[in-house]
Amino acid sequence: MSPRARIVLLGFLSATVSLASIAADKPAPAAAAARESASAPARESASKEAASKDPRVELAAKIPGAKPEELRATPIPGVYELARGTDIAYVSVDGKYALVGDLYEMSSNVNLTETARRNERVKLMAAVPDSETIVFSPKDPKYTVSVFTDVDCGYCRKLHSQIADYNKLGIKVRYLMFPRTGPDTESWEKAEQVVCSKNPAESLTKAKRDEAVAAPKHCPNSHVAEQYELGKEVGLRGTPAIVLASGEMLPGYLPPQALVKHLQAK
C-alpha cells in the first residue's frame, strides 16, 4: 500500500537561552523543553489540518476496517480504488456505493484494475527472498518465475516432473508452498516436512513422487504459513499458480515451451 501523506508544520519559537549554551551551539535544557512543549500543539494542529484536506481520511471512516492508505484516486472523479492485497473494489467518495469488477480505460483498452493487481504482486513477491523459497535454476537464468505449489496437486507434480526442461530454457523457478487443504491437514504436514528437511529441493522432488521425506519434528521457521497467506493475498485460487516478474499471474500448469514463449512475448 502507498504510505499515508503527512504534512508537518514546524512551529517557530523564540526562546531565551544562556550565553554558555549559545557558545556551545546547544539549546539550554529549559529552552529545549519549552520549545518541545510549545511545538506539540502546532504539530497536532498540522496533523488535523492534513487529515481534513485528505478526502481519503473521511472516506475511510465510512468503510468498516478501511485505512486511508488503502484508498487511491482513480481517473474517474469522485471514485476511489480500495485495495487490500490484490482484492480491489471501487467506492464513491461519499462512501455510499461500491463496485467490484475491472476498470478499463476505453481509449487504450488498458485494464487498470489488473495493472494495480500486478503492481501489488510485484511488491509482495519482492519481499520474499530466495532463501525462503525452494529454487531450481539454470546457471545463468533469463527469466525468473515464482510458483505456488501443493505437494499432492496433480498438475503441480506434472510441472515439477519437467523442472529440468524449464531450467534448460533459461527459466529459474522459485517454489512457494501452498497446501490447498489448509492447516492441520496431510498436505500441510508434507509441506512442512519438505521445507524443514536438510535438502528442501531434493525433498520436494521425493514428496511429489510419494517418497518418504525425513524431517525434524520441530521446525519453527518453515515459512509455510506465511506463504499460504501470501498466496491468498496475491489472489491465488488454485495450484499451481505461476507469478511472473511483471506481477502477472498464470493460473494453472503451463508446459515449458508455452511458458517460455509467453515470457519472450512479454
CA dihedral 223, 224, 227, 231 (to 10 degrees): 180
pLDDT reported for residue 15: 31
Alpha-carbon span 50 to 30, nearest angstrom: 30
- Which of 147, 139, 166, 168 has the alpha carbon at shortest distance from 258? 166
> Strand, coil or helix: what is 234?
coil
Chain-centroid distance, C-alpha 115: 14
Q: With 70 as the cut, is the pLDDT of residue 38 above it?
A: no
pLDDT reported for residue 43: 53
Angle among Cα 234, 195, 130 to the nearest 5 degrees reads 55
> Strand, coil or helix: what is 146?
strand
In this predicted model, what pLDDT tens digit does every residue of 202-239 receive, in sequence order?
Answer: 999 999 999 999 888 778 778 999 999 999 999 998 99
